[in-house]
């Protein structure tokens, strides 16, 4: 598929339009298109009929035809009217940013849950745009004098889509219930969750694999990870922690798409700690971080303890690395208090540099379930309790007295309370 990318820039309002247009190129490449040209318009207001105005439409049409493009991509959401008018004027297939992202999501979804969420987002986007989709469907609405020969087909399609949306929402609600049960089971087993978030292609999946010794597929393509993955993470304290990898964020991510993936993103609501991963070698990292922070706030998890992880150190030049190190040190020294929300760690998920420091910082940041030293008086037949101590704690000593087992261990507070351990002062 050959594409032509186009964007409209409001004068003195959107200073990063070039960056978002470059991002649209990357999205198009991830979707399998070959971009043969691009255009950027500076205009104070969008044109209501075509977004970019009649003269610019003809310019884009000539450029797309000269380049042999069969698809035109717009870096803005198009209204149904704009979409119809642009397809007629350009005589080419037209997609906006949301449609392109949905197409990528549809390609990436592998689990049943992911496929349900993508289909729901696609149908919600398609429903108001049915009118004008080709000549087989009438563009007339209901009312006196507006009924046409194609109106029955159009209304039939709308009814089928609405019925399918209802079924998808019911299926996703079942998914949410199942995920809630899983989370309740984790809480019962004293499992804390640490969630990875960040801009798409920041290296979250590579970091996830490095920390958990997993083999989750990784790729340089945008949105390579769509379906959530949870694995056990081993820390120095040996506390039971689960690491969750979520879908990457992006600027101008449609609100209804975030709503469709609510069942997946609810993992963030249960997280005890959020690892915000940033691509340290990305020039637009500040804008990308701002986009991530905005989405976290929209999801209602902005108050969750945060650990900022600067990834891809192996790709930084020595001078850039020194500059970043000095900048982070200056910010931390200027902070009035140094807590989990202010910590920043520099790592390379690919080479492994800084991962030990990151594990230690995660351990220290999980303040809601601190590690303590305690003594346990268990029955010799209590195999489950003994196994929990050895699996999720650091056993310091074991003594057998009159058919009982007295164990001194360093464990999390929740596990100590579960096994009724007696707190001991740390040496």
* One-character DSSP codes across 237-287: T---EEEEE-PPB-TT--HHHHHHTHHHHHHHHT-SEEEEEEETT-TTHHH
Residues 332 and 205 placed together within one structural domain of the fold: yes
**In angstroms, how far apart are the furthest CA atoms of the chain?**
94
How far is it, in rounded angstroms, from Cα 231 to Cα 1? 37
Better-predicted residue by pLDDT, 387 or 311:
311
Residues 346 and 228 placed together within one structural domain of the fold: yes
| CATH number of the domain to which 10 belongs | 3.40.50.11060
pLDDT tier at 336 (50, 70, 90 boundaries)? Answer: very low
Residues 338 and 394 placed together within one structural domain of the fold: no
Residues 382 and 322 placed together within one structural domain of the fold: no
In-domain check, residue 174: yes
Residue 89: pLDDT above 60? Answer: yes
Q: What is the pTM of this model?
A: 0.72
In-domain check, residue 145: no
In-domain check, residue 185: no
pLDDT tier at 406 (50, 70, 90 boundaries)? Answer: very high
Distance of CA 210 to the CA centre of its chain: 19
Q: Identify the H or E element spanning 230.
A: strand 229-233
Give residue 143's pLDDT. 44
> Average pLDDT, stretch 45-58?
89
Residues 402 and 324 placed together within one structural domain of the fold: no
Q: How many domains is the chain partitioned into structurally?
A: 4
Give residue 157's pLDDT. 82
How far is it, in rounded angstroms, from Cα 411 to Cα 390? 10
3-class state of residue 10 by DSSP? coil
Q: Identify the H or E element spanning 147.
A: none
How far is it, in rounded angstroms, from Cα 161 to Cα 169? 12
Give residue 163's pLDDT. 92
Give residue 72's pLDDT. 92
Residue 358: pLDDT above 90? Answer: yes
Contact present, 43 and 12 (Cβ < 8 Å): no
Residues 411 and 351 placed together within one structural domain of the fold: no
DSSP one-letter string for 182-226: HHHHHHHTT-EEEEEEEBTTSSHHHHHHHHHT------SSTT---
Please state which of the ranges 18-32, 155-169, 183-197 shows the lowest mean pLDDT.
183-197
Residues 229 and 332 placed together within one structural domain of the fold: yes
Residues 155 and 56 placed together within one structural domain of the fold: no
Give residue 90's pLDDT. 92
pLDDT, tens digit (0-9, with 9 covering 90-100), for 147-170 = 445 456 777 888 888 999 999 889
How far is it, in rounded angstroms, from Cα 24 to Cα 7? 9
Residues 116 and 73 placed together within one structural domain of the fold: no
Residues 161 and 24 placed together within one structural domain of the fold: no
pLDDT, tens digit (0-9, with 9 covering 90-100), for 68-78 = 998 999 988 88
Give residue 276's pLDDT. 93
Give residue 9's pLDDT. 45
Domain with 391 in it = 371-424
Better-predicted residue by pLDDT, 250 or 351:
351
Contact present, 267 and 195 (Cβ < 8 Å): yes
CA distances from 384 to 188, 220, 404, 419 (A): 15, 44, 14, 10
Give residue 402's pLDDT. 86
């Amino acid at each position: 598929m050959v594409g032509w990318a186009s964007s409209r820039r409001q004068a003195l309002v959107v200073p990063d339009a070039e960056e978002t247009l470059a991002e649209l190129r990357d999205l198009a490449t991830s979707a399998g298109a070959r971009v043969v040209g691009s255009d950027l318009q500076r205009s104070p207001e969008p044109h209501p009929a075509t977004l970019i105005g009649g003269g610019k439409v003809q310019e884009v049409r000539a450029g797309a035809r000269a380049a042999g493009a069969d698809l035109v991509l717009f870096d803005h959401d198009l209204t149904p009217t704009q979409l119809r008018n642009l397809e007629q004027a350009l005589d080419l297939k037209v997609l906006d940013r949301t449609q392109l992202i949905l197409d990528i999501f549809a390609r990436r979804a592998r689990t049943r849950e992911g496929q349900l969420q993508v289909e729901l987002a696609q149908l919600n986007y398609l429903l108001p745009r049915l009118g004008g989709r080709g000549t087989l469907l009438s563009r007339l609405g209901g009312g006196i004098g507006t009924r046409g020969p194609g109106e029955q087909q159009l209304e039939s399609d709308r009814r089928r889509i609405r019925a399918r949306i209802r079924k998808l929402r019911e299926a996703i609600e079942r998914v949410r219930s199942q995920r809630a049960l899983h989370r309740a089971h984790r809480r019962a087993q004293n499992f804390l969750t640490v969630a990875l978030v960040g801009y798409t292609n920041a290296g979250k999946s590579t970091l996830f694999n490095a920390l958990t010794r997993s083999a989750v597929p990784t790729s340089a393509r945008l949105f390579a990870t769509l379906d959530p993955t949870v694995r056990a993470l081993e820390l120095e304290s040996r506390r039971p922690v689960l690491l969750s990898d979520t879908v990457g964020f992006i600027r101008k991510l449609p609100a209804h798409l975030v709503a469709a993936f609510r069942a997946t993103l609810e993992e963030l609501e249960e997280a005890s700690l959020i690892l915000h991963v940033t691509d340290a070698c990305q020039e637009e990292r500040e804008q990308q971080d701002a986009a991530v922070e905005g989405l976290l706030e929209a999801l209602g998890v902005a108050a969750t303890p945060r650990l900022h992880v600067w990834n891809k150190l192996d790709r930084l030049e020595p001078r850039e690395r020194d500059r970043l190190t000095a900048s982070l040190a200056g910010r931390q020294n200027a902070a009035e208090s140094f807590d989990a929300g202010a910590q920043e760690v520099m790592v390379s998920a690919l080479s492994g540099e800084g991962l030990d420091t990151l594990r230690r910082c995660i351990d220290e940041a999980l303040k809601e379930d601190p590690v303590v030293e305690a003594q346990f008086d268990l029955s010799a037949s209590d195999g489950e309790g003994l196994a929990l101590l050895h699996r999720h704690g650091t056993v310091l000593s074991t003594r057998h007295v009159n058919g009982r087992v007295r164990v001194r261990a360093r464990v999390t507070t929740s596990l100590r309370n579960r096994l009724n351990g007696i707190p001991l002062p740390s040496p």
